[in-house]
């Protein structure tokens, strides 16, 4: 890290501070703090969706997954199509209902018990996955990038890992607490540019160095060297393939396809973390276009994170320019150190600072978004239910206190999660999400499609579904061999739907007035008219473009090694 690198990082923090100061003055009510006063435009919404999604677990974990399993988990990143589903199918219901949270929407549809279950499970899930994984991945990056950063406190040596963990948490917590969602959304505009610029520079220099193995080869030659290296390495072509047979122990194509779709619908269509950005839009048109813009940006992760992981693996195979990736305890590549190794060993002066700033941007964006979502869930769905007479100022204060508390719990889980991830950080978070997502997806989708579904069906579907999911997670943590994770996810989805149907049929159907405009079968004429007025051919063309690009990416990677 040179002076130029540090100046780039310093400049990023200056911009961050200016945005926080500018938005701090606009936090008078809980809606201002949690939803930005519903004044955000589509450009900022789309950038915020992308920046919130691209956390340090992508920068570190997805690159590592590329080096270990190639394109096997790219299905979990080609989720742009799910955002299109979100903006056309789910979003009109959410926006018209005027809710602030997803559990609040469930209460409108199914009653308060369903809201309580989803609220509490969502808060626990954020600690187990999002907060702890984001902090851990960022700290791991600091550990590799700045190993010399450490000091002693009371005779105990504090490593760069824990310095990075605590520093990023505190900084992200400060600007999320003071600026609210408005600060999060507008800083994401800057952070999206940093994330893309930094990650694309890693891809460029990795291709350039790999192409250089041909004695003066170009960036384009680097792609050819990557493909030839995979073909020439025994077992690599099958291990790194886009699709795997049904007998594959980890990534069978059927299980992975169903699980990836389930996780995608949960994350992009029902999770507070993402949906909250669209609820902050000034109208339904801006919310939908923000989702379409976010979907276009979502096409990038495979090319700027997973592909660099593949390039890192190939560079390691050739030892190009002396490049090497640290090994794990079993003697294989330590996946979670692939991306940091690319940065430290390949990038010239200045670009290293750009990438570190991009990583900090990804980390800060995800953490700040998480903090705001967690504080929204707890304040609106828990505290406000218990203290309905609380003032607006009190609600904002509780939201800030919640941010601090949940962050502390996330930090406490980091050591446990570090032992569970085993060098496969991205795979860890996807496995956990594959056990949490099915019952939520089953309740939301069945509730929109089947007007006969009632509160009993929702409560039993969520309750038993989560119990089965946590049972699988516990068995995995104990090392007990059971059904492969992704097959289990698909099975859990079907079981959850069956529970919902059976439980709903044992109780009376909901009254028509209660579910008006909350299912497809009960759409009112006003709902249809407002929804139709919110889009035009621009939205349709943008949606078709996204779907076409997803299909083109699948078509290329399906046969790229033939």
Q: Give CATH superfamily name and number for 3-559.
A: Sodium/glucose cotransporter (1.20.1730.10)
Given a cut of 50, whether residue 423 has pLDDT beyond it is no
- State the pLDDT at residue 498: 97
Which token pair is 357? 């700033």
- State the pLDDT at residue 453: 96
- Please give the radius of gyration of the chain, using alpha carbons only, rounded to the nearest integer: 23
The domains of the chain are located at 3-559
Whether 99 contacts 88, CB under 8 Å: no
C-alpha separations of 59 from 5, 45, 112 in Å: 19, 21, 39
- State the pLDDT at residue 442: 96
pLDDT level of residue 182 (50, 70, 90 thresholds): low
C-alpha separations of 363 from 57, 118, 170, 193, 321 in Å: 8, 26, 12, 14, 30
Residue 348, φ and ψ in degrees, nearest 5: -80, 175
Of 230 and 371, the one with more pLDDT? 230
Report H helices in 25-101.
Answer: 30-35, 42-53, 56, 63-69, 80-85, 91-97
Given a cut of 60, whether residue 461 has pLDDT beyond it is yes
pLDDT level of residue 462 (50, 70, 90 thresholds): very high
Whether 25 contacts 328, CB under 8 Å: no
Percent of the chain scored above 90 by pLDDT? Answer: 25
Given a cut of 80, whether residue 343 has pLDDT beyond it is yes
pTM (two decimals) = 0.85
Q: Would you say the C-alpha torsion 344, 347, 349, 354 has a positive or negative sign?
A: negative
Given a cut of 80, whether residue 26 has pLDDT beyond it is no
Please, is 464 exposed, middle or buried when counting C-beta atoms within 10 Å of its C-beta (0-12, 13-18, 19+)? middle
Given a cut of 90, whether residue 465 has pLDDT beyond it is yes
Residues 6+ apart with CB under 8 A from 23: 179, 180, 182, 183, 186
Given a cut of 60, whether residue 21 has pLDDT beyond it is yes
Q: Read off the pLDDT of residues 377-390 as tens digits, 9 standing for 90 and up.
A: 888 888 888 888 88
Question: Averaging pLDDT over each range in 93-97, 151-155, 405-409, 431-435, which range is the top one?
Answer: 93-97
Quick one: how far is CA 499 from the chain centroid? Answer: 28
Residue 153, φ and ψ in degrees, nearest 5: -130, 115
Q: Which residues lie across from 156 on neighbouring strands?
A: 153
Q: What is the mean pLDDT of residues 124-140?
A: 71
Percent of the chain scored above 70 by pLDDT? Answer: 83
Of 40 and 256, the one with more pLDDT? 256
Given a cut of 70, whether residue 207 has pLDDT beyond it is yes
pLDDT level of residue 405 (50, 70, 90 thresholds): confident
Given a cut of 70, whether residue 27 has pLDDT beyond it is no
Given a cut of 60, whether residue 115 has pLDDT beyond it is yes
H or E stretch at 158? strand 156-158
Whether 294 contacts 50, CB under 8 Å: yes
3-state secondary structure at position 451: coil
Query: From CA 46, how far away is CA 52, in angstroms rounded?
Result: 10
pLDDT level of residue 175 (50, 70, 90 thresholds): low
Whether 456 contacts 504, CB under 8 Å: yes
Report H helices in 347-484.
Answer: 351-378, 384-386, 392-421, 425-449, 455-477
Residues 6+ apart with CB under 8 A from 25: none
Whether 306 contacts 226, CB under 8 Å: no
- State the pLDDT at residue 96: 85
Q: Read off the pLDDT of residues 531-553 as tens digits, 9 standing for 90 and up.
A: 899 999 999 999 999 999 999 99
Q: What is the mean pLDDT of residues 367-373?
A: 75
Whether 255 contacts 489, CB under 8 Å: yes
Given a cut of 70, whether residue 415 has pLDDT beyond it is no
Q: Read off the pLDDT of residues 245-272 as tens digits, 9 standing for 90 and up.
A: 988 888 889 988 998 999 999 989 998 8
Q: What is the mean pLDDT of residues 43-67?
A: 81
Question: Averaging pLDDT over each range in 52-66, 213-227, 292-306, 314-328, which range is the top one?
Answer: 292-306
Q: Read off the pLDDT of residues 213-246 as tens digits, 9 standing for 90 and up.
A: 655 567 788 898 899 999 989 888 988 889 999 8
pLDDT level of residue 411 (50, 70, 90 thresholds): low
């Amino acid at each position: 890290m040179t002076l130029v690198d540090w100046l780039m990082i310093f400049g990023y923090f200056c911009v961050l501070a200016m945005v926080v100061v500018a938005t701090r003055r606009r936090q008078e009510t809980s809606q201002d703090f949690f939803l930005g006063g519903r004044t955000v435009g589509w450009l900022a919404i789309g950038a915020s969706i992308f920046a919130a999604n691209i956390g340090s677990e992508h920068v570190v974990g997805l690159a590592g997954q590329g080096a270990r399993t190639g394109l096997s988990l790219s299905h979990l990143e080609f989720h742009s199509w799910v955002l299109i589903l979100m903006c056309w199918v789910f979003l009109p219901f959410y926006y018209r209902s005027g809710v602030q949270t997803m559990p609040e929407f469930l209460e409108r549809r199914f009653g308060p018990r369903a809201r309580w279950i989803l609220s509490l499970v969502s808060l626990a899930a954020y600690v187990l996955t999002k907060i702890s994984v984001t902090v851990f991945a960022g700290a791991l990056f600091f550990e590799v990038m700045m190993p010399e950063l450490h000091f002693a406190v009371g005779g105990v040596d504090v490593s760069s890992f824990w310095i990075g963990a605590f520093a990023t948490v505190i900084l992200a917590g400060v600007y999320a607490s003071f600026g609210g969602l408005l600060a999060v959304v507008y800083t994401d505009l800057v952070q999206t540019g940093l994330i893309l610029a930094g990650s694309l520079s890693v891809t460029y220099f990795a291709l350039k160095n790999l192409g250089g193995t041909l004695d003066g080869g170009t960036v384009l030659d680097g792609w050819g060297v990557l493909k030839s290296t995979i073909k020439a390495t025994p077992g690599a072509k099958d291990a790194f393939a886009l699709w795997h047979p049904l007998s594959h122990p980890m990534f069978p194509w059927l299980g992975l396809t169903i699980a990836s779709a389930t996780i995608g619908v949960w994350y992009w269509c029902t999770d507070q973390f993402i949906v909250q950005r669209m609820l902050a839009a000034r109208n339904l048109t801006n919310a939908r276009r923000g989702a379409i813009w976010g979907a276009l940006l979502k096409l990038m992760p495979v090319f700027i994170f997973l592909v660099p992981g593949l390039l890192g693996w190939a560079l390691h195979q050739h030892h190009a320019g002396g490049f090497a990736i640290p090994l794990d305890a079993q003697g294989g590549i330590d996946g979670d150190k692939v991306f940091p190794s690319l940065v430290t060993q390949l990038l010239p002066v200045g670009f290293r600072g750009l990438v570190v700033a991009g990583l900090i941007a990804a980390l800060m964006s995800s953490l700040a978004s998480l903090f705001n979502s967690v504080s929204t869930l707890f304040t609106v769905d828990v505290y406000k239910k218990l203290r309905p007479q609380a003032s607006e100022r009190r609600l904002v204060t509780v939201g800030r206190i919640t941010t601090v508390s949940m962050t502390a719990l996330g930090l406490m889980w980091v050591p446990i999660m570090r032992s569970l991830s085993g060098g496969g950080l991205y795979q860890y978070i996807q496995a956990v999400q594959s056990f949490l997502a099915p019952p939520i997806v089953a309740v939301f989708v069945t509730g929109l499609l089947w007007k006969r579904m009632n509160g009993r069906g929702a409560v039993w579907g969520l309750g038993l579904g989560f119990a089965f999911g946590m049972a699988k997670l516990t068995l995995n943590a104990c090392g007990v061999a059971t059904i492969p994770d992704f097959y289990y996810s698909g099975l859990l989805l079907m079981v959850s739907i069956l529970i919902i149907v059976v439980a709903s049929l044992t109780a009376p159907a909901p009254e028509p007035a209660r579910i008006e405009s909350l299912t497809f079968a009960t759409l009112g004429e006003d709902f249809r008219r407002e929804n139709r007025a919110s889009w035009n051919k621009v939205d349709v063309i943008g949606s078709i473009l996204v779907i076409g690009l997803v299909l083109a990416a699948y078509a290329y990677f399906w046969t790229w090694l033939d």
